Amino acid sequence: MASSKHQVRFPGESESYRAARDKLLDAEIEMRRTIESVAAQRRRLPLGGEVPRDYTFEEILGEGPKGKKRKVRMSELFVEGKDSLILYSFMYGPEMPTACPSCTSIIDSLDGEAPHVMQRVNLAIVAKSPIERIREWAKERGWRNLRFLSSAGSTYNHDYQGENAKGEQMPALNVFVRKNSRISHFYNTELMFAPSDPGQDMRHVDMIWPLWNLFDVIPEGRGEKWGPKLSY
């Protein structure tokens, strides 16, 4: 029976396959509508609270021995014509022996997309370790396009859920907006704090993590125990 959705067919597919695929297509169409509906609802959020202080971070400009360490305020992360700022909290605290493998996997992907993303929005990666340690890790991973900041001298991680009450580092994506020279919080990936359905993890940063979306299209799925590693 011909599908009313489209006439595309693939070599050797059976009628039972096409029927199952069309049923799945209905679900995918509905998922697409839901994704857009949720994104539209997110865009309509009012501004959250004004940031309590103009946080100070550290960064290194330049490469190698000529790199110059400097302090930079949150307000200076906004460039002319771009009034939104995305900050990803990278789990790499000073007491951690090595960086978080999951965060590293995310940043592996973000580094490639960063030149495209930063055409429209300000973007940076924030971690609690000293900036020299962060930059050394970035060099080891081959990250070249992202802006890395150390929050070691501020309460940013604590205030915006980049660490918990015990000082343990947490993965979080926050969005800030500059309006009338004031900076306000706009969005945090709060699924991290909400209950998960059985068999699911938080999935709060999946929207920026291609790894799991690729696994979602294979028969084996995400797997129950597999997770990214720093090397294979």
144: containing domain: 56-190
Going from the C-alpha of 108 to that of each of 24, 103, 105, 161, the distances in angstroms are 31, 9, 5, 22
Closest CA to 71 of 1, 138, 153, 8: 153
Across 13-22, 78-87, 191-200, least confident range: 191-200
Backbone torsion region of residue 142, taken as left when φ is above 0, otherwise alpha when ψ lies between -120 and 50, otherwise beta? left
Residue 16 lies in a domain: no
> Can you tell me the distance from the alpha carbon of 178 to that of 185, in angstroms, rounded to the nearest whole number?
9
Residue 166 lies in a domain: yes
pLDDT tens column, 52-75: 999 999 999 988 777 899 999 999
Residue 41 lies in a domain: no
**Banded model confidence at residue 4, pLDDT cuts 50, 70, 90:** low
Q: Is 179 a residue whose pLDDT tops 50?
A: yes
Give the mean pLDDT of the chain.
Answer: 94
Q: Is 75 exposed, middle or buried (0-12, 13-18, 19+ CB in 10 A)?
A: middle
Residue the block writes with tokens 């900036």: 131
Q: What is the mean pLDDT of residues 131-144?
A: 97
Residue 50 lies in a domain: no
| Count of domains observed in the chain | 1
